[in-house]
Chain A
Amino acid sequence: MSDSVLAFNSIAFHYQTGKKKEAVSIFDGIDFRVNDGEFVSIIGPSGSGKSTIFRLVTGLENPAAGEIFLNGKKTENRLGQVGYMPQQDLLMPWRTIKENAVLPLEIKGMKKAEAESRVLQLLDDFGLKGVEDKYPGDLSGGMRQRVSFLRSILSGSNILLLDEPFSALDAITRLSMQEWLLAQWQKWKKTILFITHDVDEALFLSDRIFVLTGRPNHQLTEVTVPLGRPRTVRDLSRPEVVTLKEQLIDQLRSKELS
């Protein structure tokens, strides 16, 4: 357990829906481990519980059974413990870029002057110099996602959860954001858990890929990406990667039909 920063031990979870409060089982005893500094993607058909994993890790939901370990410790109250970057950038439109980035520090109770000077320095590193006093509405989608990523880093956690952060961007911006993300990941030495629909994106970014096997999930399928680092987009056309990609797509498709 010492090396894994995040572990699920036979986690069970179900949602209650409808008037009769019928329980819809999402997870039925799943286990996984994420190691320090690893980049892990989660793929699966819609409704398979990708986001639910994040809601469990962040502490927005609690498992019906099983244990969640953060940094080797069983953690019951996980709110405020991991950095989370949502699908929409979710920047507050009434706050400037600087004020948005400061939010997690503000909530942690850091002094305003100290928090702001830290943010200003980071904005430079993130290629966001000169926009600190602009409002989110003035920025492009890619820039807003950078601010959102910066905000999740400022949570101070070593674990970052990114929920389809680039799905709303156009293809070219997405590619440059993926490369940018890899650079940031290596620089900050964070552990990243990344949800995506896009098999190419998962293969390009991750060390390992978790495949959700439909509802309820009894176990996760784990795939190790056969690529070293640094990688380029061209590596994705290597035969062993192409084979893997086809396998993954077949797997996702069969689940969607069933």
Chain B
Amino acid sequence: MRKLHSYLLSSSLVLVLLVIWEIGAWSYGKSFILPTPSEIAVKLWELREVLIFEHLPATLLIIVIGLAISIIVGFGLAIWMNVSRIAEKAFYPIIISSQTIPIIALAPIFVLWFGYSIWSKVVVTVLITFFPITVSAFDGLRSSDKDLKELMLTMGASKKDLFLKLDVPSAMPSIFSGLKVAVTMSVIGAAIGEWLGAQAGLGYFSRRMMTQFDGAAVFAPIVLLSAVGILLFLLVTVIEKIVLRWRKQV
């Protein structure tokens, strides 16, 4: 009951905004530029089969592959930097400064390199999601309690014990924060990638409809994209609740 209550405020705000949008767009009267929410909803329903069975899977595939690569490489790099001071000094500044590179501006280059295959979009997704995953994992591994470490040493713990029984569990809360950021950004990454060139995908579909001046059909896949982002976020939150069940409910 209480949970329902906490969503009440944000959902009524959204509702109010939608109503304002509806009235505004309706009185503006150029639905190819600004469609009303109800037009978008109708369009979403009309296009449901094409969007859900053709374009959604294409986008999801990019997201899943991109996230998987980011997680494997990100965790690997975080562990390496945690173990080796030299690796940390070599990589950490590069990882941070890589974030100042405007990836979106670089994206066309990837199309040049990887063509219109799935990999040009995966690269954009990886570059966007890699940073929060790596940094949160690395900071998490670093956050383990020094006193606990010494206590474990007095028990005769090996480096492997310290890593598996202390560093990794200590890093979990931070890793989940990073994952939450990464999954929502992965949707953006995939959509940008598709904008640049693709044969399928929600981002691609949205852009194609723009050239046809079909405003509602531009927005419909975007609604779906944002739903994907929200669902991925909720999925991570559920896993987090299970893994970190020792934490008091916040």
Contacts and interface: CB of A to CB of B under 8 A. Distances in A.
A155 B155 CA distance: 7
Contacts of B156: 79-81, 107-108
A84 B151 contact: yes
B169 A107 contact: no
A96 B145 CA distance: 18
A108 B157 CA distance: 8
Contacts, number: 58
Contacts of B248: 137
Nearest to B147: A90
A79 B153 contact: yes
B148 interface: yes
Interface residues on B, range: 20 to 34
A91 B137 CA distance: 23
Contact of A92 (B155, B169, B247): B169
Interface in B142-195: 145, 147-148, 150-158, 161, 165-166, 169, 172
Contacts of A108: 155-156
A107 B157 contact: yes
Nearest to A58: B154
A80 B161 CA distance: 13
B165 A106 contact: yes
A60 B150 contact: yes
A93 interface: yes
Interface string A50-88: 000000001110000000000000000001111010101
Contact of A80 (B154, B165, B244): B154
Contacts of B247: 93
Given A86-B147, A92-B169, A107 B244 contact: no
Interface of B: 145, 147-148, 150-158, 161, 165-166, 169, 172, 244, 246-248
8 contacts: A59-B154, A79-B153, A84-B151, A84-B155, A92-B166, A92-B169, A103-B152, A107-B155
